[in-house]
Amino acid sequence: EAQVTQNPRYLITVTGKKLTVTCSQNMNHEYMSWYRQDPGLGLRQIYYSMNVEVTDKGDVPEGYKVSRKEKRNFPLILESPSPNQTSLYFCASSLWLENNEQFFGPGTRLTVL
Amino acid sequence: GQNIDQPTEMTATEGAIVQINCTYQTSGFNGLFWYQQHAGEAPTFLSYNVLDGLEEKGRFSSFLSRSKGYSYLLLKELQMKDSASYLCAVRGPGGSYIPTFGRGTSLIVHP
């Protein structure tokens, strides 16, 4: 089944404790991105990647890191999480940059205490 | 930059037709998307418009007027399962092709 998977789905952590949210797609998509979704603010892009070893900042990159060592994986790293990073996170992928349809993962609900 | 406006909430009756509007102001334009998102779930793609006019796909249609910076999503024969948030997103110019999402319109369909 073609899909985007994220882990964990739910995470409660404390300020300053490094964490990684994994994202993997099995559709051989080149383009991957991370969004956060907050009430009243909609979906905002954090980082995106156009291919292996090619990443760039989105609208709200502060406090986040990403890497793209393999085509299928695009982990999101929070080196020192803070409470304002409490949010719902989505990973998405599409076949190539100009492709119209993005496929979203199921989401990761993160709470930073 | 880009600014996207859509109503926060709408209600409609099962079996009816509803139109969800989206207006945008952008420094450039490279396509407009509509996504559906049920509560607690991931967004799913509904439509993409890059040229003016109406695109029909089953019960859902999407319209675009680039000169007016305006789009709408038309849902016909509403069903209870259509209760969801509908997200309008605009893709700007340049190499990033990053879409900017509006805040979404929460549609409530009642019997």
- Could A104 and B104 be called an inter-chain contact, meaning their C-beta atoms sit closer than 8 Å? no
In angstroms, how far is CA A20 from the centroid of its own chain? 10
Q: Copy the structure tokens of residue A14.
A: 């404390």
Block residue for tokens 């991957």? A32
Question: Would an 8 Å CB–CB cutoff place A81 in contact with chain B?
Answer: no
Q: Which residues 6+ apart lie within 8 Å of B56 measured at CB?
A: none
Residue-wise pLDDT for B72-104, tens only, equals 999 999 999 999 999 999 987 665 567 889 999
User: Hey, what are B98's tokens?
Assistant: 């990053």
Q: What is the pLDDT of residues B23-48, one digit of tens each?
A: 999 877 888 999 999 998 999 999 99
Q: Does B100 touch chain A (CB under 8 A)?
A: yes
**Subunit contact A42:B42, Cβ cutoff 8 A:** no
Q: Which class for B87: exposed (0-12), middle (13-18), buried (19 or more C-beta within 10 A)?
A: buried
3-state secondary structure of A84: helix
pLDDT per position as a tens digit, A15-48: 999 999 999 999 999 999 999 999 888 899 999 9
pLDDT reported for residue A99: 60
What's the pLDDT score for residue B9?
A: 97
In angstroms, the separation between the Cα of residue A55 and the nearest Cα of chain B is 10
